[in-house]
Chains A and B, each alone.
Chain A
């Protein structure tokens, strides 16, 4: 009976530094989210009418892309722990490649969305809604870009056999960062695209 109870780990996966970054990002984005919802109270009609100009389908596709890429990061982390090293490297790098491809598609869709808004003459100074929309999504976009650079390096390290079953701390840290980007989008998507 007691053998079924799994003891809790003392520390979270990844380096201590990555968790400091996670907490700082949560605070930064949290303040922006709170700023958005309380600014809306003063201009409800403006926020609702401006929101209609957003493409909810693109926001939805991007959510699916990020969720699925996160799933492949988890698969990569499981694969790297395989005893058969050749198989571990092959499966882990393939999962990271899929996650990178999905992340790149997210970037591509965001570029299409930003270009569309730019063509409509929408900028940071258009109104309060678009100021928050551009600030939040562009800031998040930069985080996805950084995440892709991190994943690229993880893939390089996997290929160079730098990670072992016992030591793949760098990979865990990179994974935590990518999931943070996912978590932030999970809140951002309903807030900006759906709730009215």
Chain B
């Protein structure tokens, strides 16, 4: 679980640096969306404990996360 926490912290530092150093090109923006999805999925799987639960329960927050981030990409770039 320590590794999960460390990954979440690392990805948060990455997101902060992108914004703080104003490095948000289109590619890095896409990468930010992907890393946000990974962070959310880690919380869903390991913190909320849905990794070893029937897929239907795990899919609900995963689909929510995917939908929000996809719509964000559409709203910002299309």
Contact = CB atoms under 8 A, between A and B. Distances in A.
Interface of A: 6, 8-13, 19, 22-23, 26, 30, 33-34, 37-38, 40-41, 56-57, 59-60, 63-64, 67-68, 70-71, 73-75, 78, 172, 176, 179-180, 182-183, 186-187, 189-191, 193-196
A12 B48 contact: yes
Contact of B19 (A6, A64, A193): A193
B12 A12 contact: no
Q: How large is the interface on B (under 10, 10 to 19, 20 to 34, 35 or more residues)?
A: 35 or more
Contacts of A179: 43, 47-48
A176 B27 CA distance: 34
24 contacts: A11-B54, A26-B60, A30-B64, A30-B67, A33-B72, A34-B71, A37-B76, A56-B16, A57-B20, A60-B20, A67-B12, A71-B1, A71-B2, A74-B46, A74-B47, A172-B49, A183-B43, A183-B61, A187-B65, A187-B68, A190-B36, A194-B24, A194-B32, A196-B19
A187 B40 contact: yes
A158 to B, nearest CB: 18
* B contact face: mostly helix, strand, loop, or mixed: helix
Contact of A195 (B29, B54, B68): B29
Contacts of B60: 23, 26
Interface in B5-19: 5, 8-9, 12-13, 15-16, 18-19
Given A75-B1, A179-B43, A194 B15 contact: yes
A68 B54 CA distance: 27
Interface string B22-66: 001000010010001001100110111110111101001100110
B2 to A, nearest CB: 8
Contacts of B61: 22, 26, 183
